């Protein structure tokens, strides 16, 4: 009985209290705009995963570089610039190489900058 209550508490906490989407409600704007069709929702989800992965690796490298030059106080500015650069690069690449994908999620890519900058 205690195990069942503990699991129920964990599930409720994970879905209601500690849910990333609810906690960071700013980040759901692009997702809400593209979830009318399953295909565009999957494409947007893959774009978010790609951008977050590349941003995390690039920000880690930038942080190590900042530490090498002993200018860690520039961390926030550099992280924002790295994040915005990655998203703008993806925007340009999608517009050039996949116009159909860009037409479905391209409008929301600029909003990813805001969402990712808030999350970082």
Residue range 31-50: average pLDDT?
72
Position of tokens 């960071």? 24
* Whether 80 contacts 87, CB under 8 Å: no
Most confident segment among 12-16, 74-78, 104-108: 74-78
Confidence of residue 48 (pLDDT cuts 50, 70, 90): confident
Please check the confidence at residue 61 and state whether its pLDDT lies above 90.
yes
* pLDDT tens-digit series, residues 98-111: 888 788 777 777 76
CB neighbour class for 63 (10 Å; exposed up to 12, middle 13-18, buried from 19):
middle
CB neighbour class for 16 (10 Å; exposed up to 12, middle 13-18, buried from 19):
exposed
Q: What is the DSSP letter of 19?
A: -
- pLDDT number for residue 67: 92
Position of tokens 């995963």? 49
Give the span between the Cα atoms of 104 and 36, in whole angstroms: 11
- pLDDT number for residue 58: 92
- Of all residues in the chain, the percent with pLDDT exceeding 90 is 12
């Amino acid at each position: 009985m205690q195990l069942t209550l503990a699991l129920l508490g964990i599930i409720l906490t994970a879905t209601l209290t500690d849910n990333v989407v609810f906690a960071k409600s700013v980040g759901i704007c692009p997702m809400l705009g593209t979830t009318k069709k399953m295909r565009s929702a999957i494409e947007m989800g893959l774009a978010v995963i790609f951008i977050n992965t590349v941003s995390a690796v690039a920000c880690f490298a930038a942080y190590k570089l900042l530490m090498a030059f002993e200018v860690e106080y520039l961390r926030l500015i550099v992280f924002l610039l790295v994040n915005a650069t990655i998203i703008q690069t993806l925007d340009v690449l999608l517009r050039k190489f996949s116009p159909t994908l860009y037409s479905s999620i391209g409008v929301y890519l600029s909003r990813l900058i805001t969402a990712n900058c808030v999350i970082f």
